[in-house]
Structure 1
Amino acid sequence: MADGISISIADRLTADDLHRIEALLPQLSATARFDAERVLSLLQAQNTDLFVARESGRIVGMATLVTAPLITGWHGSIEDVVVDQSTRGRGIARLLLGAIIDESQQRGLSTLDLTSRPSRESALRLYESVGFVRRNTNVLRFAPQGD
């Protein structure tokens, strides 16, 4: 399972790293648009950490941990989990999730959430296998219309 894979919180990104993230983005979302400046700003954001999975130094997966103080305690959210198609099935997503879960526990987060489309059955099985529980809730989104 995932031999030769290292997981870390990115503190800097090279031009090659940015190209790899750009290649991963359409595998995550058909509508997402790559913006190198926005990706680099993640590294400086106070409550956001970009976890990367590397094989021989090359990014093959990523996930983002977002933390926020709430009245009920510190809350975490996992966003943008994606592993390159060519390396799927090797346990890389499980390693990313494990690293994020460990980090969230070290930080004392009271909750850690993630969302996934119902059609992503294998992803849902993975999330449940590492301890996430489906909740009886609805996710609502407001997206302001552009000019």
Structure 2
Amino acid sequence: MSLEIRRMSRVTPDLGEAFGRLLPQLAPGLAAPEAGRLRAMVGDERTALFAAVDDGRIVGLLALVWYDVPSGRKAWVEDVVVDARERGRGAGRMLVEAALAHARSVGARSVSLTSNPARVAAHALYRKCGFEEVETTLFRFDLNKVAL
């Protein structure tokens, strides 16, 4: 096994293919971002996109974003997905650990994420990596569904 974690610094055909293959495994309605959006994300100074790569093939992805608010710098993990055929080999843990290390290096005070209640294995991974469940209520306003 030659599994390694890479911070993606440019968009490649392999990266686009990986998003197209992996995001539907995270949620059936998801598709790969358009090339321009992907380039903007990879080039954003407040976003780090990590890929788990095994023998040159991307088998997992994770996005980390950070932002400043009056209470300090915070980071958020999004879209963590490892190919179903590759799970159980440590890619998820390696991705999360890379994100946590990067969040620390940019001065984030905390790292948050949300996870679908059905993703029991992912919850176990997050707990093993030191995440704790917090009592909160998440509110979301879908700008695509409701006119202002």
TM-score by length of 1: 0.92
Q: Structure 2 matches for 1:60-139, cutoff 5 A?
A: 60-139=59-138
Structure 1 partner of 2:22: 24
Q: Name structure 1 gaps, 5 residues minimum.
A: none
Residue 25 of structure 1: CA displacement? 1.2
Q: What's the CA shift for 1:146?
A: 7.2
Q: Count how many residue pairs are aligned between Structure 1 and Structure 2.
A: 145
Query: How many angstroms does 1:17 deviate by?
Result: 2.4
1:62 Cα deviation from its structure 2 partner: 0.5
Farther-moved stretch of structure 1 (11-20 vs 59-68): 11-20
Determine the C-alpha separation between the residues in 2 that align with 1:37 and 1:86. Answer: 29
Kindly provide the amino acid, as one letter, of the partner of residue 118 in structure 1. P
Q: Is the 8 A contact 2:51 2:60 kept in 1?
A: yes
Q: Structure 2, unaligned stretches of length 5 or more?
A: none
CA distance in 2, matches of 1:117, 1:29: 10
Contact map agreement 1:75 1:112 (CA 8 A) in 2: yes
CA distance in 2: counterparts of 1:12 and 1:33, whole angstroms: 19
Could you list the per-position Cα deviations for residues 13-46 of structure 1 after superposition, in whole angstroms to 9, with x for gaps in the alignment? 2212211221111011212232232222211112
Structure 1: how far apart are the matches of 2:30 and 2:15?
Answer: 18
Identity of paired residues, percent? 34
SS of equivalent residue, structure 2 residue 25: helix
